[in-house]
Structure formats: C-alpha cells, structure tokens
Amino acid sequence: EGMTIFELAKRTGASIRSLQEIIANVGERVLSEFDPLSIDIAELVSMEVGVNVRRLHLDEGAVLQPRPAVVTVMGHVDHGKTSLLDALRQTSVAAKEAGGITQHLGAFVVDMPSGSLITFLDTPGHAAFSAMRARGAAVTDIVVLVVAADDGVMQQTLEAMSHAQAAGVPIVVAINKCDKPAADPERVKMQLGAEGLLLEDLGGDVQVVEVSAKSKVGLDKLEEALLLQAEMMDLKSRIDGPAQAYVVEARLDRGRGPLATAIVKSGTLICGQYIVAGAEWGRIRAIRDMLGMTTTSGKPAMPVEIEGLKGLPMAGDDVVVVNTEERARMLSHGRKKKLEKDRLLKASEERTENEDISEESEKTPLRVELPIVVKADVQGTVQAVTDALRSLNNTQVFVNVIHVGVGSISQSDVDLAQACGACIVGFNVPTPPSSLALAANHASIKIVLHRVIYHLLEEIGNLIVEKAPGTF
C-alpha cells in the first residue's frame, strides 16, 4: 500500500498543507497525514510536487548520463540576437541535413565536429526567458550575452545580465558586429568588467568571443566556448524512465491539432504515453525531431514536437508522463482548477500575499528573503539606495537586491520582479504609466516609490515586519 502524506512531505520537502491541497485538487478526499494514500494518488501527488517544488526528481540512485547544454541568447535590441541565431541555425544538424532549410520549432541543435551537441532556444530576448522562469521552468543552462561591438553595453545588456545572474545561469559573452569599422571589442570588455562581470581576459571565468553574425566569423569559436562552459558544468540527466520536459513553444496546426515543442529535461519521452503539459493533457500520437521526422522517443536536451495534446500549453509549462488516461485527466483537471484559483487569488492582492507568507514561513523559518529591483534617477542614488536597503539585513532578513538601474521603471523590471517574486523600489523616478502599474498590480508586484531615503527604509521595514513578524 502507498505512502502517507507525512512521508511524502518528508521525501519531497513539500509542506503537508500543500500536499493536502494537491490531493484535494485532483478530487480526492483529504485524509489525515498518517493514513496511507493509494499508489495512484501518491504517484500523482509526488509528480505534481516534483514539478512544482523541483526537488523530487526521482533521480535518486538513477544512472545519470552527460547531456547537451540548453542555451538562450539575450542582449540589447538590435545588437544581433536574431542574426546570430540565424547564423548558428545554419550550422545546425537540421540545416545540414535539410540543405539549409529549417522549420521553426522554437529550438535547434548544433553538432560539433567532436560529436558534441548544443541546443539553442530559438526565441531571443529576456522577455521569453523571464516568462519561462515565472513559470518555474529552469530550461536554460547557459546564456549567450550578445553585445554589439560598436554600441557597447546598453540598458538591456545590463538587464539581461541581471536576469541571468538572478537565475544563477552562467554567461558567455558574444561581442557581435566585429566586422564593422567602428567595432571596439576592447571597450565592450572594459564596460562589462566595470559592471562586475568577471571576464576571462581579466582573470575571471566568463568567456568572451568576438563574432560577426553578418560575415559568419567566430561562430565556431562561440560554439567551442559554449561547449567548454557546458563541460565545466558537467551537465547530466537521467535517461531512463518517465520523462520530464518543458514546453518552449506551442501552436495549432489545422490538420494535426495542438503541437507543442518541448525540451526533455530528464528521462525519455515515448510515443503513445499519456502526458500532462501545463494544464493540458493528451496521448502522444507522434513525436517529431527537428528535421520534422517522426521518431519514437525524445531524450534529454533534445527538442521534440509533440502531437496529441487536447489543448495548447504555454511556453515554460512542464510536461510530465502519467500512466493512465484517467490520471492524465485528473492531473490536468487539478491544474486547471489551481490556475483558476490562482487567478481569483491574484484578484485580491492582499490575500495572495498572506498566503505566500504562511507558505514561506512553513518551509524556511530561518531567514526571510526580500528580493528587490532598484531603479533611481542617477547612478549615485542607485548606489546610495542599494546600500541603505542592504543595511536592513540581519540574521533573519536577507534584502536581496537582484537588479539595479538608472531611469524609469520599465516593463522589463516588472518581468524580472515577477520572475523572482521581487518588489520594485523606485527612488526619485517618475510614477510608472498606469498600464505598467496595472500590470505590476496584476502580477502582485509591489512598487514602492519614494524621494526620501528615510521614508523608503520605513516602508521596506514595514514590508519585512509583515513577511517576518518579530524581526524588528
């Protein structure tokens, strides 16, 4: 007979309350935490928790094998992200085998002469990256930070840097447009160094490669750098057993119905299996590789197109395999109900916040983290505000300034805050436009605007007291 909720909580690190909630969501009666669950339900719940809490990967004792890295390209607008992806795609397996013609799948794989593979996500920019992270999808292993050699470091370069750093994803810098007469790669390196990026040239471990997407120079060097970075990270996955995957793109095909491109994180996806992708479910009718060829299975870090879902999942949604149609329906139903519930909860910001607090304190009673994005009018103020906020740190509170910048609060700040569960502090900056304020409000992101440090500290102090009563 199956495990108890108590035991499941111990094994997964999830709270008993959250487990009970999941069980209720799939339509089961909530038992006492010491009553055994049926094996069906235990599996369903642990799967749900494994995905949500990202701790139970069922990989304990499993054989892990090396897998390719999954890479995302980020950087300032017009610095050549799309061009670079296009150029890299031309060196991909698909392009080689299909005579240069590739279909857009949302991801492609490049094979190196050594036989090693690199998977690139085909959606540039940090909006996609944050959207995925907001859903908890840690798909990207490495970020390629594209900086134009003539323009140098710009606002979105810094934002991309912050996104990658907040996610703990290592960066490889590609200085692009090196074919241009005005190119000054050395200046770019100085700028990045000044921003605190520990470049290889300056004794750090962040690799820098000079490229030109236009003249297709340095692409091989970039691929080698990525391979080296991947080797250092020693990326491994379980190959056998049920797959866990992430949706990177989904579209509706008139003949074939919903099609989702997914990247397998661990295990092997097999045609015919029942899956749940986000809140949608289905039975895999066909799996296609990046050449559009039908295949029977999908392995870690490989993008595959899945046919057979009943509806369209979203980018960043997780895909899990379940044993029966009934369970697939149940899990999908449970997730849909949860989505609906979350939506209602968000409508009343106040209540959502309280929920977060009680859940958080259950898991980590020790140190409360308060992630903050800081925007201010001038560089000097940014530093002063950041220092002042950090002065609030003590043994129980960790004020984590995840991104700082000069200027008005932007959509990208809101995206980052959402991805990290952060609040935004604006000091001496204009009140954000109502559309942005609305978006932040909708995402339950607090925006704190002040012109006096003392007042700012007072409000943040209050926030901390709310989050961690008894701190001050």
- Interaction site with ligand GDP (CB under 6 A): 75, 77-83, 124, 176-177, 179-180, 212-214
For ligand GDP, the closer of residues 75 and 432 by Cβ is 75
- Dihedral sign, CA of 159, 164, 168, 170? negative
Q: At what angle do helices 349-363 and 325-347 cross, to 10 degrees?
A: 120
Q: How far is the CB of 137 from ligand GDP (least distance, A)?
A: 22
Shortest Å, Cβ 405 to ligand GDP: 19
Cβ-based nearer residue to ligand GDP, 125 or 316:
125
* CB-nearer residue toward ligand GDP: 213 or 235: 213
Those residues with Cβ within 8 angstroms of residue 433's Cβ, 6 or more apart along the chain or in another chain: none
Spatial separation of the C-alpha atoms in residues 117 and 224, rounded to whole Å = 11
For the bound state, the minimum distance from the C-beta of residue 174 to ligand GDP, rounded and expressed in Å, comes to 10
Q: Which is nearer to ligand GDP, 85 or 169 (CB)?
A: 85
Q: How far apart are CB 258 and ligand GDP at their closest, in Å? A: 28
CB of 211 to ligand GDP, least distance (A): 7
Q: Which is nearer to ligand GDP, 12 or 83 (CB)?
A: 83
DSSP state of 201: G
Measured from the CB atom, the residue of 212 and 273 that comes closer to ligand GDP is 212
Residue that has been written with the tokens 């008005």 in this structure: 408
Q: Minimal distance in Å, beta carbon 208 to ligand GDP? A: 15
* Of 127, 118, 67, 115, nearest in space to 88 by CA: 118
DSSP letter, residue 202? G
In this complex, which beta carbon is closest to ligand GDP, that of residue 179 or of residue 353? Answer: 179
Q: How far is the CB of 191 from ligand GDP (least distance, A)?
A: 17
What are the DSSP E strand ranges found in 220-356? 236-238, 244-253, 257-266, 269-270, 274-277, 280-288, 294-295, 297-298, 303-309, 318-322
Alpha helices by DSSP H, listed for 313-425, are: 325-347, 349-363, 379-390, 411-420
Residue 337, judged by CB atoms within 10 A of its CB (0-12, 13-18, 19+), counts as middle
